[in-house]
Structure 1
Amino acid sequence: MNSKNNGTFSPGFFKDPNIYLPIAIAAVLLLISALVSVTAGTVKNIIVFALILIAAGLITYALFAMKNLTKNYMLNLASEVESVQNEILLKMPIGVIIFDEGSTIKWLNPFMQKFFFKKDLIGNDLKELDDDLYQLYQEFQENDEVKEKSLYWEDSYFHVFSLPEERTLYFIDVTYYGEIAADASNNRLVIGNIMIDNYDENSTMISDRRKSTVDNFMMKQLSTWAGNHDSYIKRFDDDKFLLITTYGELVKMEEDGFDVVDTIRETTSKANFPLTISIGLSYHEENEEASLLSISDLSQSNLDLALSRGGDQVVVKTQSSKARYYGGKTNPMEKRTHVRSRQIANTIANIFETNDSFFVMGHDYPDMDAIGACLGIRRIAEMNGKQCYIILNESRINGDIKRLLVELRKDEKINEAIITPKEAEDMIDSESFLYIVDVHKPSITVEPDLIEKFNNIIIIDHHRKGEEVPENVLLEYIEPYASSACELIAEFFEYQDQNAKQINRIEATTMLAGIIVDSRNFSLRTGSRTFDAASYLKSVGADSLLIQHLLKEDLSDYIKRNHLISRVEFIEPNLGIAAGEEETVYDNVTAAQAADTLLSMRDIDASFVVFLRSDKRIGISARSLGNVNVQTVMEELGGGGHLSNAATQIEDATVSEAIDMLKDVLLGDNKEDS
């Protein structure tokens, strides 16, 4: 660089003492020599004096020449640097955009110009030109600490730098390295486990010849599908397969919605040999480290999750990401066996025999199934000589449960067993056991915070399993094809001590009411074992008249239900949404009944009722005939349930906002299906 002083050029190195001191000393010595020569007076001295003057003149001339040459050199260098800078701005693959006080483009170089179709960019607002770049610019402006970011834009990779004070963005084209990173990401290993859900049940009923035909068909279908995705598949058991693929192919599989699941189900169903498959897949995220063993283990866990949700679906999940679900378009087929039920019943009995402190609770705003399941567990504990306390928040119950509590409190032992969450907290110790029934998500239980205090948790539920489960689960019995939790628990009584005091009238009545409510009068998810459980409960004293009394509807609720139905809106053919007013509170039962009633109407395949709950959250009750998977819809909104019966609760939202969220999910799902 050059500097200026009073208009005269002065290179910086002339100010260096290592330069000017020797020159100054040399000048002084020359001057002394000249004076000595003159005072000596001889001819020789005069000649020496003349030579000294000539040398001094030459040195002075050389210094001025050096100064001029240096000045010209620096000026030329500055000119060349400026020229190179201009060349870089205009020709190098580096983009520059300069903005004015807002987001209006003040100047950009030709490299950036070529990415826009519009030729005249200067003076235009970036917001109107490109959404991606505008969002990036806003991120830089809103956070001064962020100085650089990576960007994939217009089929190219960029590293973008921000100079906030200059209001300038620099774009470094790193497409070559970005493509290498993308290839590495797409080539990440994906491990999958595949299982034929109902192979054993079907293969035992056919001849060996037909079984061989079915085996060949399944292998061909899966091999063709894997081959189309450049993947490796290996059969290691009659109903189990190993899949090895890459992340890039997994993305394509997800884009196709894992169509092999639908193909196998539909083809085998037409051949009168219905088979479904479940798949669990896992890989490692780019920002996490994972061994092949951990990926394989998680893949198996994802398969187990798919099976616990009823099968006929795919679960994709990594260590740090939420699960992604595909399929699950059919109601789960009954695979529960009496052997499995007996094993669970014996395990529960053994737990009661060898421990002393027990508690049971269901979901928030419990229904007949949740209360009936709690009563069933309490009775099994009593049959094994132990006390089990029912945790209930009586400030958060509906009208039918209030009527039930009046009947329950007539039984002294049941009345003593019903406690509040606060009372339970004071009674819990490190050895206490908690039974969670008719629910497995901690966030929607009677008291979520209480769950963390238990080291031993047992889950008995009939809803399709989601990601949210408690820690410290000792035993899990989730059977999504059962009609209700009461059905599952009713089967346990067969394997208890028959000499102990059996279930009484009010307990049997409540459990039967739970089955009736959840199966919608034996019309939904009802199998032969549902009727077996109902028959057993009826045989031990379940009172049908009392059930009718407990399930009677208030006139005001009836009017509210019809009012909700009258507000139905069709957003797509055969999809109906009914919504309550913003300030009007509806209870869960009224909303659920409204959804059920809507579903019975012609031309409605799925119904959704959106309403304000008493706890100020927005509830959505969803029902379908089976061709719309309302479970996955509700899961996207934080809820869950069954394929044809699901719900959710949304916090910090209004009814209209919840409707918009629901529509976004529904319309998005319909677009994907199409």
Structure 2
Amino acid sequence: MNNKKKEKQFPEFMNHPSLRFSILIVVITQIIMVVLSFTAYIWLGFLMLILFVIIILIAWKFGSDYLRELNSYILNLSYRIKRGEQEALIKMPIGIILLNDENEIEWVNPYLQTQLSDEENVLNEPLDKVNEELAIYLMDSERNDKQIVEWNGKKYQVTVQTDLNALYLLDITEYATVKEEYEENRPVIGWLFLDNYDEITQGLDDRGVSGFNSMLTTYFSNWGRQHGIFYKRTSDDRYFLLLSRKELRRIENEKFNIIDNIRERTSKRNLPLTISMGIAYGEDSFDKLSELAQSNLDLALGRGGDQAIVKAVNEEPRYYGGKTNPMEKRTRVRSRMISQAMQKIMTDSDQIFVMGHKNPDMDSIGSGLGVARIAKMLKKSVYVVVDNEDLGSDVTKLMDEIKKHEQVHSNIVSPNKAEEMITEGDLVILVDHHKPVLSIAPNLLKKTNRNIVIDHHRRGEDFTENPLLVYIEPYASSTAELVTELFEYVTSDGDPINRIEATALLGGIVVDTNNFSLRTGSRTFDAASYLQSVGANSTMIQRLLKEDPENYLQRSRIIENLEFVRDGVAIAAGEDNDVYPPVTSAQTADTMLSMSGVEAAFVVTRRSDDMVGISARSLGKINVQIIMEKMGGGGHLSNAATQIDGKSVSETIEELKEVIHSELN
């Protein structure tokens, strides 16, 4: 029995067959050597036998001591491991919660117990009562092991062991704090641009310019000191900004009120200055961060200035400001340069395709016909893409008039026909829009990388890729106005603009300015005067814009539901089961602006494509563009729209109210 116990004390490897075989060979070899020694000399045999016995005794002695020490070491190590496991279970910053089948807490480990307050008894309590966030995470079928849960002021990374119905909470409070501080102090780069600095200072003498610059320096210094911003003036009208993510969040909470403050302060001196800012963060490379900031500034300027755009990598941009109508910065020189550049691109192209946006209005069709006429004057093959199944009543009447002019109508093609005709060397010109998703035939842009954009809407994030030429002027009344100015610089002996094309262009201006009452500048009347001089028929325009009695009654029914959601902001909506054409919604919004007390009007109606459309109009004090952008649309400060899919009219109204309250507070 004792022998068996001793055998059990030997490690397993001592009983391995290979080790036993090796020992056996050594013993047999020694026996053979002893036998041979006896054969040669008896005294030598006795000597070898004695040596053999001594070696065996010494080996046995050392083996026994080694095994005893090895056993002692293993026992000690085993004890320490078990003790370490117990200490770890108690002292390691990992909380353990065991739950029963009803998700009630059956046991928590000692460490987690120390993190609870004396009054907090969690045993036998439902998990959702103890910590609702933990309960939600436990029930989430798509949970991941990086979920962070906050409990009693500490943050834990949670892991679930389903088979044991156990939760493991790793205390990462310190690391979360370090990460938060890191994120808060990550660098933010910005560019600040003085939109109309040259226009303001050109009328001042040296003393006036110096005083104006001194005022700007004082204001920006105070602003920078208040918000921990390093700024450096790199040119007369540009500043470089460097700040932290924490300060950026603070400035965003203030909605970049520096934009309004600087405009109001300078306006008191009759020197109304507007500024634009491009802010970027989220990149480790300062080069890329600076490029992104410049891109954001370009976007802000493309939208008319007087605003700030904040954007991180792979995030949607956030817009602030833009509360005033953009100032007229276009010059005759710029119009001439654009016209000449466009003519050069047209000349180098095989065919030219001009297309407006879906649900085209007079401005879209008119500017498209105008660009097509410029191409014809250069003796180029040009086609205007029009979807006859997607026209409003006024545009349908215009198309009927165009059919009487075979020379113009022969160049109008459907989207499908255009896709069959286009080749890689052809040119696509987008008019009255710049977002490919809004195009009548977006596939045309995929078949050629040559495109031009001519638009008067504020530039949005979604933009056509790598255009050869961009002519976006948000201050202009309409795209028709921009196109009309380009005719003056066309050097060609081709046929000039004809009466129907001039009428369509003038109709675009009339519609977009609401009969010259909105967004109208001196250049607008100059363009209208030119179109009248080349034969535009204003009487035909009035006839085309006449509305049907049913349309008038529809507008009246929508206005019956008018409600004020706050001072100056009114919403009217059609019934969810009734379908209204987009033009009816737009006209209804325009009508609401003529009512007393209405500064901004929103009309929500069901469209024929089973989407809900919102037409937004403003007299200028309220920026309806920003509100529509929050809901996926866009447009102008005083004229914007959007389409919502998958929601009812009432649901859309509730969402619109939330956006209005958040943006106008």
TM-score, normalised on structure 1? Answer: 0.85
Q: Trace 1:129-208 onto structure 2 (pairs within 5 A).
A: 130-139=131-140, 141-143=141-143, 146-150=144-148, 156-208=154-206
* Aligned match of 1:3: none
* Whole-Å separation in 2 of the counterparts to 1:97 and 1:228: 47
* Aligned match of 1:46: none
What's the CA shift for 1:320? 2.0
* Whole-Å separation in 1 of the counterparts to 2:245 and 2:310: 11
Q: From the superposition, tell whether residues 121 and 525 of structure 1 become closer, same or farther in structure 2 (CA, over 3 Å).
A: farther
Q: From the superposition, tell whether residues 210 and 415 of structure 1 become closer, same or farther in structure 2 (CA, over 3 Å).
A: same
* Aligned match of 1:283: 281
Counterpart code for 2:99: F
Within the candidate set 502, 505, 508, 1:511 is matched to: 505
What's the CA shift for 1:477? 0.5
Q: Trace 1:342-357 onto structure 2 (pairs within 5 A).
A: 342-357=336-351
* Aligned match of 2:217: 219
Q: Report if aligned partners of 1:310, 1:480 keep a CA contact under 8 Å in 2.
A: yes
Q: From the superposition, tell whether residues 624 and 87 of structure 1 become closer, same or farther in structure 2 (CA, over 3 Å).
A: farther
Q: Trace 1:153-552 onto structure 2 (pairs within 5 A).
A: 156-285=154-283, 290=285, 292-497=286-491, 499-552=493-546
Counterpart code for 2:176: G
Q: From the superposition, tell whether residues 333 and 138 of structure 1 become closer, same or farther in structure 2 (CA, over 3 Å).
A: farther
SS of alignment partner, residue 480 of structure 1: coil
Q: Trace 1:56-67 onto structure 2 (pairs within 5 A).
A: none
* Whole-Å separation in 2 of the counterparts to 1:153 and 1:205: 63
* Aligned match of 2:98: 98
* Whole-Å separation in 2 of the counterparts to 1:502 and 1:162: 76
* Whole-Å separation in 2 of the counterparts to 1:310 and 1:113: 60
Q: Report if aligned partners of 1:222, 1:260 keep a CA contact under 8 Å in 2.
A: no
After the TM superposition, which of the residue ranges 210-219 and 372-381 deviates more from structure 2?
210-219
Counterpart code for 2:603: V
SS of alignment partner, residue 251 of structure 1: helix
CA deviations 1:339-384 (Å, max 9, x no partner) are: 1111101111222233331000111000000000001001111111
* Aligned match of 2:32: none
What's the CA shift for 1:628? 2.3
Q: From the superposition, tell whether residues 391 and 257 of structure 1 become closer, same or farther in structure 2 (CA, over 3 Å).
A: same
* Whole-Å separation in 2 of the counterparts to 1:432 and 1:375: 18
Unaligned stretches of 5+ residues in structure 1: 1-9, 26-58
What's the CA shift for 1:475? 0.4
Counterpart code for 1:485: T
* Aligned match of 2:55: none
After the TM superposition, which of the residue ranges 189-198 and 653-662 deviates more from structure 2?
653-662
* Whole-Å separation in 2 of the counterparts to 1:491 and 1:103: 73
Q: From the superposition, tell whether residues 114 and 379 of structure 1 become closer, same or farther in structure 2 (CA, over 3 Å).
A: farther
SS of alignment partner, residue 603 of structure 2: strand
SS of alignment partner, residue 349 of structure 1: helix
CA deviations 1:495-517 (Å, max 9, x no partner) are: 11374322111111111111111
* Whole-Å separation in 2 of the counterparts to 1:361 and 1:519: 22
* Whole-Å separation in 1 of the counterparts to 2:585 and 2:516: 20
CA deviations 1:138-188 (Å, max 9, x no partner) are: 44x334xx3343456665443322212223222212233333333333332
What's the CA shift for 1:105? 4.0
* Aligned match of 2:576: 582
* Whole-Å separation in 1 of the counterparts to 2:114 and 2:522: 70
What's the CA shift for 1:111? 5.2
* Whole-Å separation in 1 of the counterparts to 2:83 and 2:662: 54
RMSD: 3.5
* Whole-Å separation in 2 of the counterparts to 1:595 and 1:116: 59
* Whole-Å separation in 2 of the counterparts to 1:632 and 1:106: 53
Q: From the superposition, tell whether residues 370 and 87 of structure 1 become closer, same or farther in structure 2 (CA, over 3 Å).
A: same
CA deviations 1:45-74 (Å, max 9, x no partner) are: xxxxxxxxxxxxxx9xxx9xx99x989x97
Within the candidate set 554, 559, 565, 1:565 is matched to: 559
* Whole-Å separation in 2 of the counterparts to 1:438 and 1:77: 80
What's the CA shift for 1:79? 8.9
Q: From the superposition, tell whether residues 563 and 94 of structure 1 become closer, same or farther in structure 2 (CA, over 3 Å).
A: same
CA deviations 1:242-265 (Å, max 9, x no partner) are: 112222322222222222112101
* Whole-Å separation in 1 of the counterparts to 2:134 and 2:260: 40
Unaligned stretches of 5+ residues in structure 2: 1-7, 25-59
What's the CA shift for 1:269? 1.3
What's the CA shift for 1:410? 0.7
Q: Report if aligned partners of 1:148, 1:162 keep a CA contact under 8 Å in 2.
A: no
Q: From the superposition, tell whether residues 456 and 273 of structure 1 become closer, same or farther in structure 2 (CA, over 3 Å).
A: same
* Whole-Å separation in 1 of the counterparts to 2:528 and 2:331: 17
Counterpart code for 1:136: Y
Q: Report if aligned partners of 1:565, 1:578 keep a CA contact under 8 Å in 2.
A: yes
SS of alignment partner, residue 322 of structure 1: coil
Counterpart code for 2:137: L
CA deviations 1:305-359 (Å, max 9, x no partner) are: 1111111111122342221211111111111111111110111122223333100
After the TM superposition, which of the residue ranges 337-346 and 110-119 deviates more from structure 2?
110-119
CA deviations 1:639-672 (Å, max 9, x no partner) are: 10011111111223332332233233223224xx
CA deviations 1:385-435 (Å, max 9, x no partner) are: 123201111111111111111001111022111101110011111110011
* Whole-Å separation in 2 of the counterparts to 1:107 and 1:607: 60
Q: Report if aligned partners of 2:282, 2:312 keep a CA contact under 8 Å in 1.
A: yes
CA deviations 1:77-101 (Å, max 9, x no partner) are: 9898777656555554322333344
* Whole-Å separation in 1 of the counterparts to 2:492 and 2:212: 45
After the TM superposition, which of the residue ranges 317-326 and 93-102 deviates more from structure 2?
93-102
SS of alignment partner, residue 458 of structure 1: strand
What's the CA shift for 1:134? 4.0
Q: Report if aligned partners of 1:221, 1:260 keep a CA contact under 8 Å in 2.
A: no
Q: From the superposition, tell whether residues 84 and 280 of structure 1 become closer, same or farther in structure 2 (CA, over 3 Å).
A: same
Q: Report if aligned partners of 1:618, 1:649 keep a CA contact under 8 Å in 2.
A: yes
* Whole-Å separation in 2 of the counterparts to 1:106 and 1:654: 47
* Whole-Å separation in 2 of the counterparts to 1:108 and 1:600: 69
What's the CA shift for 1:559? 1.2
TM-score, normalised on structure 2? Answer: 0.86
What's the CA shift for 1:21? 7.6
Counterpart code for 2:244: T
Asked if 1:667 is matched to 2:657, the reply is no
* Whole-Å separation in 1 of the counterparts to 2:155 and 2:411: 65
CA deviations 1:413-464 (Å, max 9, x no partner) are: 2211110111001111111001100000111111223322121110000000
* Whole-Å separation in 2 of the counterparts to 1:410 and 1:12: 110
Counterpart code for 2:182: A
Percent of matched pairs sharing the same residue: 45
What's the CA shift for 1:479? 0.5
